[in-house]
Amino acid sequence: MIHSLFLINASGDIFLEKHWKSVVSRSVCDYFFEAQERASEPENVPPVIPTPHHYLISVLRHRIYFVAVIQSEVPPLFVIEFLHRVVDTFQDYFGVCTEAAIKDNVVVVYELLEEMLDNGFPLATESNILKELIKPPTILRTMVNTITGSTNVGEQLPTGQLSVVPWRRTGVKYTNNEAYFDVVEEIDAIIDKSGSTITAEIQGVIDACVKLTGMPDLTLSFMNPRLLDDVSFHPCVRFKRWEAERILSFIPPDGNFRLLSYHVSSQNLVAIPVYVKHNITFREGSSQGRFDLTLGPKQTMGKSVEAVLVSSQLPRGVLNANLNPSQGTYTFDPVTKMLTWDVGKINPQKLPSLKGSMSLQAGASKPDENPTINIQLKIQQMAISGLKVNRLDMYGEKYKPFKGIKYMTKAGKFQVRT
């Protein structure tokens, strides 16, 4: 399946290569560079590129292209999904997935890739298994290893490999047993010029951090499971139980994992937490444009809207922006024409606004489209869909774990057309 992997950085250098079958010359990447040149933006490189003898399937994350070389028919999503899994694993191991981190840990990277694929077919991608095979590098461990001469590499077959719960290693021990669940919801919306919602939907995930001794069997139930329209589970969740009772029943992996991601049924109206009043005008024949933006809270269920960040790609004709924010700071990049306004918290008594003028290129005609405004925000302690966890129970172990649930709402792809 996957023949080789090349890692290419933003400046077009191949800084790592790995082959699982016979060696494929790195000149195959020339086809990739060609496609890269044709694409105006780094994101526009097509994920699948055919070459005379191979096919290149690539993903771009953290400004690194992960290019897999394929020789024959294989579902492209299979490769893409695997590459993303590789990136996730790197992130899990090194904290960040940057060129520097990969270069610093090149041996661990190689060992990981060796374990993840055998002859191009995924072997072990479960983080719990990998961590037993190859221990993540920490400063302490490196120190100990240099002194004692012990290694980072496990000698035994990871316990998960053979068990019915491959995602969990055995013999887990903690002094403080705790299980935390974060319910994070994102609102994707497009708001039109007049402020009416064109489309809005809520997607959510439940991320868990479970540190429990032994083999706990957890059940998580919701007050209102009907809200969940479409769900996808971590493999640990028992599907039949969910089908029958709408209860999440699972033996959790050890550590951090994504338990569930869901889509809230579209019948429910989506509460839009902020509104934007905008007045962006360019006048014909003048080199000035007006920019006026005010934000306000809308349906926030009494919670405050925090970490608001407004960004907008201004038209190419804009040379500079001279604006005055009532709170927060703004930046305008004259090269990319990206306007960013870090608003912070919205105070309902004193609505944040950004007013001022834009100077346009002399002689250039007025841009025919007003820029789209992207908004990021956070609302703590609330899931906007109203989803509530009812209870979390643990079976199979004697101790009493500490349980915690946190709710948060964020803006996903939240756009306001002006």
Partner 1 sequence: MDVGFSSLRSEAVGAMRTALVSAENLQLTLKPELSQEEQALTNSKSSIKETHKAGNEDLKEMLESNKESLKLEAMKRVVGLIAKGKNASELFPAVVKNVASKNIELKKLVYVYLVRYAEEQQDLALLSISTFQRALKDPNQFIRGSALRVLSSIRVPIIVPIMMLAIKEAAADLSPYVRKTSAHAIQKLYSLDPDQKEQLIEVIEKLLKDKSTLVAGSVVMAFEEVCPDRIDLIHKNYRKLCNLLVDVEEWGQVVIISMLTRYARTQFTSPWKEGANFDENNAKAFYDSDSEEKKDTTEDKPYIMDPDHRLLLRNTKPLLQSRNTAVVMCVAQLYWHLAPTHEVNTVTKSLVRLLRSHREVQYIVLQNIATMSIQRKGMFEPYMKSFYVRSTDATHIKTLKLEILTNLANEANISTILREFQTYVKSQDKAFAAATIQAIGRCATNITEVTDTCLSGLVLLLSNRDETVVAESVVVIKKLLQTQPTQHSEIIKHMAKLFDNITVSMARASILWLIGEYCDRVPKIAPDVLRKMAKTFTAEEDIVKLQTVNLAAKLYLTNSKQTKLLTQYILNLGKYDQSYDIRDRTRFIRQLIVPNEKSGALNKYARRILLAPKPAPLLESSFKDRDRFQLGTLSHSLNTKAAGYQELSDWPAVAPDQSVRNVEVIEPVQEWAPLVGKTKKAKSADKFYSDDEREKEEEGSESSGSKDSSSSSSSGSSSEESGSESEEESSEESEKTSSDSGKSSSGSEKSSSESESEPKKKKKTKKAPQKKSKPPAAFSDSDENGNGPVAQASSSSAESSSDSETDSEDSDSDPPATPQKKKKDVKSKPKAEVKSKVEVSLLDLVDFSPAPTNAPKSSVISSSLLSDLEGLSLSNVSSTMQVSTPSFSPVKTYELLHHMTGKGLSAKYHFPRQPCLYEPSMVAVQVILTNSSDHSLEEIHIGERSPAGLNIHCFNTIERLEPEASVTVSMGIDFSDSTQAANFQLCTKEEQFKVSIQPAVGELLMPSTMTEPDYSKEQGKLLGMNETSATVTMATANTSSQAISKQVLSVCNVGEVPSSQSNVHRFAGRTVSSGALVLVCLELKESSTALLTINTEKSVMASMLLRDLKQALVQA
Q: Buried (b) or exposed (e) across 172-188, using 16+ Cβ within 10 A?
A: beeeebebebbbbbbbe
Shortest distance (Å) from residue 286 CB to partner 1: 16
Q: Judged by CB under 8 A, which stretch of 161-169, 176-184, 352-360, 395-403 contacts partner 1? A: 161-169
Among 309, 374, 378, 405, binds partner 1 (CB under 8 A): 374
Q: Is 395 in the site for partner 1 (CB under 8 A)?
A: no
- Which residue's CB is nearer to partner 1, number 220 or number 297? 220
Among 38, 63, 84, 391, binds partner 1 (CB under 8 A): 84
Shortest distance (Å) from residue 104 CB to partner 1: 10
CB-based contact 8:65 (threshold 8 Å): yes
Q: Where are the beta strands (DSSP E) in 20-141?
A: 48-50, 55-61, 64-70, 117-118, 121-122
Shortest distance (Å) from residue 373 CB to partner 1: 9
- Which residue's CB is nearer to partner 1, number 61 or number 303? 61
Say which residue the tokens 């024409």 belong to.
337
Shortest distance (Å) from residue 195 CB to partner 1: 15
Question: What's the gap between Cα 181 and its chain centre?
Answer: 17
Closest CA to 252 of 239, 236, 241: 236
**Footprint of partner 1 on 333-362 (CB under 8 A):** none
**Footprint of partner 1 on 131-160 (CB under 8 A):** 146, 149, 151-157
For CA atoms 382, 383, 384, 387, give the dihedral sign: negative
Closest CA to 215 of 171, 174, 177: 171
Among 12, 95, 195, 235, binds partner 1 (CB under 8 A): 235
Shortest distance (Å) from residue 47 CB to partner 1: 4
Question: What's the gap between Cα 63 and its chain centre?
Answer: 14
- Which residue's CB is nearer to partner 1, number 178 or number 245? 245
- Which residue's CB is nearer to partner 1, number 155 or number 350? 155
**Footprint of partner 1 on 317-336 (CB under 8 A):** none
CB-based contact 353:378 (threshold 8 Å): no
Among 92, 114, 207, 292, binds partner 1 (CB under 8 A): 114
Shortest distance (Å) from residue 72 CB to partner 1: 3
Among 10, 96, 107, 301, binds partner 1 (CB under 8 A): 107
Q: Is 27 in the site for partner 1 (CB under 8 A)?
A: no
Closest CA to 131 of 98, 164, 92: 92
Q: Whole-angstrom Cα distance, residue 87 to residue 364? A: 44
Half-sphere exposure of residue 188: CA atoms within 13 angstroms, side-chain side? 9
Quick one: angle between helices 106-116 and 76-94, nearest 10?
Answer: 140
Query: Between 170 and 199, how does the x/- string for binding to partner 1 read (CB under 8 A)?
Result: --------------------x-x-----xx
Q: Is 232 in the site for partner 1 (CB under 8 A)?
A: yes
Residue 128 DSSP symbol:
H
**Footprint of partner 1 on 266-305 (CB under 8 A):** none
Among 30, 96, 142, 239, binds partner 1 (CB under 8 A): 239
Question: What's the gap between Cα 4 and its chain centre?
Answer: 25
Q: Is 60 in the site for partner 1 (CB under 8 A)?
A: yes
Longest CA pairwise span in the chain (Å): 77
Among 161, 213, 256, 376, binds partner 1 (CB under 8 A): 161
Shortest distance (Å) from residue 245 CB to partner 1: 4
Shortest distance (Å) from residue 275 CB to partner 1: 19
Task: Return the ∠ at Cα 117 (arms to 113 and 121), rounded to 5°.
Answer: 155
Shortest distance (Å) from residue 348 CB to partner 1: 28
Q: Where are the beta strands (DSSP E) in 269-397?
A: 274-282, 288-297, 305-313, 318-325, 329-333, 338-344, 353-360, 373-380, 389-395
Q: Is 34 in the site for partner 1 (CB under 8 A)?
A: no
Number of residues that bind partner 1 (CB under 8 A): 101
Among 64, 67, 69, 109, binds partner 1 (CB under 8 A): 109
Q: Whole-angstrom Cα distance, residue 99 to residue 106? A: 10
Q: Is 418 in the site for partner 1 (CB under 8 A)?
A: no
Q: Is 74 in the site for partner 1 (CB under 8 A)?
A: yes
Shortest distance (Å) from residue 237 CB to partner 1: 8
